[in-house]
C-alpha cells in the first residue's frame, strides 16, 4: 500500500475549503517543452522518464478564512480549473507549477499578488446521472474546454497515481521571487473514469505541443478538509 498523506501540517491556514467533484486528466509531454515554461528556479519533476501535465477541473466549496466554520450561509462555492505540471527546486522539494488557473469567482483574482495565474472565465460543473460534465471559456471563447466523464469503481492508488495527485505545495513567481503556498488535506479518494468528451485548447494556449499519448484519467468525489497556508517568498 502506498502512503499518500500530507507531508506537513498547515497549523495556521490562511484559507479553508472543500474541493469537490475533481477530475484529473494527465498527459505525457516532452520534458524540454515543459521546462521552457518554467522559471529558472524550478526543474521538471519526471515520472517514468517523462514530464506530466494535468488538467484538473473541480468545485471550490465553502471557501472561508481560518476560524470560520463550514456551512455558514453565504460562503462562496465556484468552479475552478487548473492546468498544472510537477516541479522540483534545487533543494529537492517538489510541488505544483500552474500553467493557468481559470476561475468563476472574481475574489480569487487577489491571488495574482503572489503570482498565481488566475483568469476569470465562464465555468460550470454539472452532474447528470452517472456523468460529470465540466465546461469553461475565457474572454472571446478562443480558449475553452469541455470534459464529460463517467466515474468508475474506487481504486487503490498506485505509486504513479499518488505522485500525480498528492502534492503538498504550490510554487508561483512574483516580483522576481519564487513563492511557496503549503497545502494540507486528507488523501484523495480516487476512482477510474471513462471519458465521453474531451475538447480543450488550454494546453495549446499555455504554449505546449500535442501530448505524447492518450490521457490517464481519475475522478474524486473530493476532499473536505483543505487547509491552504499563507504564501511566502523563498530565499534564492
What is the phi/psi pair of residue 27, to 5°? -120, 155
Domain spans, the chain: 15-233
**pLDDT of 236:** 61
Report the share of the chain in percent with pLDDT over 90.
87
The predicted model gives 166-170 an average pLDDT of 95
SS3 183: strand
Closest CA to 77 of 60, 56, 99: 60
Please determine, for residue 125, whether its predicted confidence score (pLDDT) is greater than 70: yes
DSSP designation for 195? E
**pLDDT of 54:** 98
Give pTM, 2 decimals: 0.95
Cα 220 to Cα 57, 68, 146, 157, 212, distances in angstroms? 11, 25, 18, 12, 25
Burial status of residue 3 (CB atoms within 10 A of its CB: 0-12, 13-18, 19 or more): exposed
Please determine, for residue 184, whether its predicted confidence score (pLDDT) is greater than 50: yes
Please determine, for residue 40, whether its predicted confidence score (pLDDT) is greater than 70: yes
Please determine, for residue 158, whether its predicted confidence score (pLDDT) is greater than 60: yes
**pLDDT of 127:** 97
In order, the DSSP letters of 86-99 are EEE-TT--EEEEEE
The upper half-sphere exposure of residue 52, i.e. CA atoms within 13 Å in the direction of its Cβ, equals 23
Inter-residue contact 54 to 164 (CB < 8 Å): yes
Q: Which CATH class is domain 15-233?
A: mainly beta
What would the pLDDT profile of 51-104 be if each residue is shown by its tens digit? 999 999 999 999 998 888 888 888 999 999 999 999 999 889 999 999 999 999
The predicted model gives 29-49 an average pLDDT of 96
Please determine, for residue 1, whether its predicted confidence score (pLDDT) is greater than 90: no
Amino acid at each position: 500500500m502506498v502512503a499518500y498523506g500530507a507531508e506537513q501540517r498547515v497549523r495556521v491556514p490562511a484559507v479553508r475549503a472543500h474541493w469537490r467533484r475533481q477530475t484529473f486528466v494527465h498527459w505525457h509531454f516532452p520534458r524540454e517543452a515543459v521546462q521552457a515554461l518554467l522559471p529558472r528556479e524550478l526543474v521538471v519533476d519526471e515520472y517514468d522518464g517523462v514530464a506530466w501535465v494535468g488538467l484538473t477541473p473541480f468545485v471550490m466549496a465553502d471557501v472561508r478564512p481560518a476560524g470560520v466554520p463550514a456551512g455558514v450561509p453565504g460562503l462562496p462555492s465556484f468552479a475552478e480549473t487548473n492546468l498544472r505540471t510537477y516541479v522540483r527546486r534545487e533543494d529537492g522539494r517538489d510541488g505544483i507549477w500552474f500553467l493557468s488557473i481559470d476561475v468563476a469567482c472574481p475574489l480569487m483574482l487577489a491571488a495574482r499578488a503572489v503570482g498565481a495565474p488566475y483568469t476569470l472565465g465562464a465555468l460550470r460543473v454539472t452532474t447528470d446521472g452517472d456523468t460529470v460534465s465540466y465546461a469553461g471559456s475565457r474572454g472571446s471563447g478562443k480558449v475553452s474546454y469541455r470534459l464529460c466523464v463517467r466515474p468508475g469503481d474506487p481504486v487503490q492508488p498506485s505509486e504513479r497515481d499518488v505522485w500525480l495527485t498528492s502534492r503538498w505545495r504550490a510554487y508561483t513567481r512574483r516580483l522576481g521571487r519564487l513563492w511557496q503556498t503549503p497545502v494540507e488535506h486528507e488523501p484523495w479518494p480516487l476512482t477510474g473514469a471513462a471519458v465521453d468528451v474531451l475538447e480543450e485548447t488550454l494546453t495549446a494556449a499555455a504554449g505546449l505541443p500535442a501530448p505524447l499519448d492518450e490521457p490517464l484519467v481519475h475522478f474524486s468525489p473530493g476532499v473536505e478538509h483543505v487547509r491552504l497556508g499563507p504564501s511566502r517568498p523563498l530565499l534564492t
